[in-house]
Structure 1
Amino acid sequence: MKYFGEGLSEKHKELSRIIRKPSMLEQAAQLFLEIHASLHLSRISGTQPNEVDALLSDLTDSEYAVMPSGRDETIAWVLWHIARIEDLTMGILAAKGNQLFNEEWQKRLNVSITDTGNALTDDEIMLLSKNINTAELISYRNAVGERTRKIVRELDSEALKRKVSCEDIARIRQEGGVTQQEESAWLLDFWGKKDVAGLLLMPPTRHVMLHLNDCCRWKQEIRTKKKFFRS
């Protein structure tokens, strides 16, 4: 069921159709930025209030740390997960630069992990969700989103066709972006098979759409149900 992003799937299909066409570089960049703006707080793009504003504007700290069912994670985990993945893939793989996350961010966020959280157990997800500084989590995601928009504005058609390099994939492992666990390490194989255009079509767009849809569903359940799997 759709809880978030009505119409975004159609826009994403159009982006997929045009993103590798050199003659449509400007249109593809603008469409990416339009989709991306819908997936971050409106102040990141200077647009009208959107669904992300509505999702996050009135969440309490306790609501960030609720697993509605045994199939679910938490809103805090999702925001950490999508921000870390966007940071790693855009900063290191797409821009061939650096991730924003560092020791200072780790201290501000009050987290012990540096990876994307793919392999965390339910207990570990709950620990992360209860300890993380949610205001700093939003600040970190905002910074990642702003940097992604800058990167995309500077890409040309040749850059979009560039394959992800083995050296940059290795950097993500070395910098603690993934762990050795199978549930985490598979990301490197997945990203390593893509070009920059392929990266833009997944981590900062499609991937986020799916996770924010879950968060909107969970928020509704948190506010209407009395019993949860973990809280």
Structure 2
Amino acid sequence: MDISGVFTDAFSRVQEEVHAVLEGLSQEDLDTRPGPGANSIGWLVWHIARVQDDHVADVAGREQTWIADDWHERFALGLESRDIGYGHTSDQVGKVKGVKASELRGYYDAVHAATLGYVAALVPADLDRIVDTRWDPAVTLGVRLVSVVNDNQQHTGQAMYVRGLLESS
């Protein structure tokens, strides 16, 4: 398996989990926060897509799908257009509500397609390219992509956990 195949597989696993967590949920389920200050499934899926979109668009040198395809206007969340959810307060988490599962899936799938388009052309030497000098050591493309997959997997696990809580109550 080549580098592009590894990342295609990793991001496709995220997509499978996003679809699985959204399957058959009501709007109430999507918007329910299992505790004060906890994240809802809707927020978690939105955040998964936003982080992937933001980070991959940055390394690919293109505009985010969220902005380029007007998803930020369709969702109308009352957040800044480049907000990805990092460091959100409880009030900000609460703004991500009322978004249908089909809209969340549609946005995630658009991000996924753009991501696969980018990783399809990767070769091993690309992974050593420095993409972020704000860290010490500087972040390479390989580290950034692995970080995105890791973040996405953590949050899909959280979303599945919240779904399990909702189904058991």
Q: Same fold (TM over 0.5)?
A: yes
Percent identity, aligned pairs only? Answer: 22
**Match 1:97 to one of 45, 50, 62:** 62
TM-score by length of 2: 0.86
AA aligned opposite 1:109 = F
Are 1:163 and 2:130 counterparts?
Answer: yes
Residue identity in the other structure for 1:80: W
Residue 19 of structure 2 contacts residue 105 of structure 2 at CA under 8 Å; is this kept in 1?
no
What's the counterpart of residue 91 of structure 2? 123
Q: Is the 8 A contact 1:108 1:133 kept in 2?
A: no
Unmatched runs of 5 consecutive residues or more in structure 1 = 1-25, 42-50, 167-188, 226-231
| TM-score normalised by L of structure 1 | 0.65
SS in 2 for 1:201: helix
Q: Structure 2: state its 5+ residue gaps.
A: none
How many residues matched?
Answer: 166
> Is the Cα contact below 8 Å between 1:161 and 1:195 reproduced in 2?
yes
- Among 120, 127, 132, the residue aligned to 2:99: 132
Whether the aligned pair in 1 keeps the contact of 2:53 and 2:111 (CA below 8 Å) is yes
Indicate if the aligned counterparts of 1:110 and 1:133 stay in contact, CA closer than 8 A.
no
1:190: how far off?
5.7
User: How far did residue 195 of structure 1 move?
Assistant: 0.7
How much has 1:33 moved relative to structure 2? 1.5
- Following TM superposition, by how much is the alpha carbon of 1:191 offset from its aligned partner in structure 2, in angstroms? 10
Distance 1:75 1:63 in 2: 7
Residues 63-82 of structure 1 aligned to structure 2 (within 5 Å): 63-70=29-36, 72-82=38-48
Distance 2:142 2:52 in 1: 14
Separation of aligned partners in 2, 1:198 and 1:145 = 19
SS of 1:164 mapped into structure 2: strand
Give 1:195's aligned amino acid.
Answer: T
1:154 corresponds in structure 2 to 121
Cα-to-partner distance string for 1:60-86 (whole Å, 9 max, x where unaligned): 111111111246311111111111111
Alignment partner, residue 195 of structure 1: 140
Give the alignment partner of residue 213 of structure 1, picking from 135, 143, 157.
Answer: 157
1:30 aligns with 2:5: yes
> SS of the counterpart of 1:117?
coil
Q: Which has the higher contact order (CA 8 A, sep 6+)?
A: 2
